[in-house]
Amino acid sequence: MLHTQTKSLDVESIRKDFPILQRKVHNKPLVYLDNAATSQKPGQVIEAIDFYYKNYNANVHRSIHQLGEEATAKFEEAHQKIADFINADSYQNIVLTKNTTESLNLVAYSLTAGLKKGDEIVISQMEHHSNFVPWQQLAKQRGLKLKFIKIDEEGKLDEESIKENITKNTKIVSITQVSNVLGTINPIEEITKIAHENNAFMVVDGAQAAPHMPIDVKKLDADFYAFSGHKMLGPTGVGVLYGKKELLESMQPFLYGGEMIREVRFEDTKFNELPWKFEAGTPNIIEGIGLGVAIDYLNEAGMKQVHERDKELVEYAMERLKEIKGVAIYGPKERGAVASFNVHGIHAHDVSQVLDSEGVAIRAGHHCCMPLMSVLGVAATARASFYLYNTEQEIDTFINAIHKVKKVFGV
Ligand SMILES: Cc1ncc(COP(=O)(O)O)c(C=O)c1O
């Protein structure tokens, strides 16, 4: 039976847009279940990149010639598309960076600069290293205190621990919206309320959320929201930092140089207006434009539909994984599009390697969440992660491949 149709997502036709899905790996059809690491790209994005280099490649915001004007217009339009995608007020709220990691570093450097010794920053035990190491290292350098919200047995943020950790001493709270290991969808609106009641800034790592569900930064009310283009059908090399305008205006730039200035004198410099004040040097022009095209694609599919389809896929995968004896699954029932698991007696890397021989690409390791691994009491997990082009048949192939792994290792 074909299980490839949701009400309004035509998965068969979506798959035709992704040239890479036609290829074989080890002579088997590719089953790409590593979408949390990076997504595949539709022909529309690939062609937009090709078209740019063949037709209007030029630097932006400087050259007064036709190509320069076309490139600038498209690059600025991409900022507006991104703003609309997350319901931000304007393109001025949207800073293009290299990735989520750079977006979070930008915020961490700028916000911690104003703090004094003993001020507190709150993150959680489930954070990705990119929402962990910057805060940890800046806390060390600047004498700040870093606190961690605990996770409960299910893999959700512990409610008591949220209230205990966010206090009047808290200056910044930085939490992931969706865990890249557990799939947990965190209650960002509620945490933001608690942060704001305590006069703390709220930063959200949206790397695993923005690609998969409708995002409304006004409703979330977070002060900053970071995500990566490459996880949402866009090219690598472009990330987003959304920030409230008054905060971005008051912050010191993260990188200095060309493009981010209005006027430079021997004595001092006046910075450019938002968002260009934070985009120093020649920016990631086609990457930004490419992300705009990826957003067109996602809008056409419908983010509600993408989210529903993700749920169908992850629920089906969990159901099938649970049928296999000796498989431990991490994280709560209600989750984003990731399923982390271990097969008893077999290292996650071995699971991944045998799956690869069957054409199935998953990720194995600590997933850039070493502190979380220590809380879970494991060195590594295997992780299958899904996106709009995946099918139930692919999940069946993945499950059959796990049975093969067990056979190979005799467990
Ligand atoms: C939750 C989360 N945060 C941040 C990142 C970092 O994203 P990037 O490597 O694109 O900077 C990832 C990447 O996997 C992630 O899953």
Question: Which residue has the CA at smallest separation from atom 12 of ligand 1?
Answer: 207
Domains and CATH numbers, the chain: 11-41+303-409 (3.90.1150.10), 47-300 (3.40.640.10)
Q: How far is the CA of 393 from the centre of ligand 1 (A)?
A: 28
Task: Please name the residue that has the structure tokens 């082009």.
Answer: 389
Ligand 1 pocket test, pick from 123, 130, 213 with the greatest ligand atom count within 8 Å of Cβ, gives: 130
Residue with CA closest to ligand 1 atom 16: 180
Active site residue 369: no
The total of other beta-carbon atoms located within 10 Å of residue 232's CB is: 24
Contact residues of ligand 1, CB 6 A cut-off? 36, 99-101, 128, 130-131, 176, 180, 205, 207-208, 228
CA Rg, the chain, in Å? 22
Q: Confidence band (pLDDT; 50, 70, 90) for 66?
A: very high
- Output the CA 104–ligand 1 centroid distance in Å: 10
Ligand 1 midpoint to CA 101 (Å): 7
pLDDT of residue 8: 78
Across the range 77-105, mean pLDDT stands at 98
Residue 1 pLDDT > 60, yes or no?
no
Beta bridge partners of 175: 204
Number of helices and strands (H, E) in the chain? 14, 17
* Secondary element (H or E) of residue 109: helix 100-113
pTM more than 0.75 = yes
Q: pLDDT tens digit string along 255-305?
A: 999 999 999 999 999 999 999 999 999 999 999 999 999 999 999 999 999
Phi-psi region of 145 (alpha: psi -120 to 50; beta: other; left: phi over 0): beta
Ligand 1 atom at minimum distance from 103 CA:
11
Is residue 119 scored above 50 in pLDDT?
yes
Q: In angstroms, rounded to a whole number, what is the distance separating the alpha carbons of residues 252 and 79? A: 21
One of 58, 133, 146, 368 is an active-site residue; which one?
A: 368
How is residue 81 written in tokens?
């598309």
Mean pLDDT (whole number) for 233-248: 98
CA angle 255, 257, 261 (to 5 degrees): 100
Q: What pLDDT is attached to residue 7? A: 59
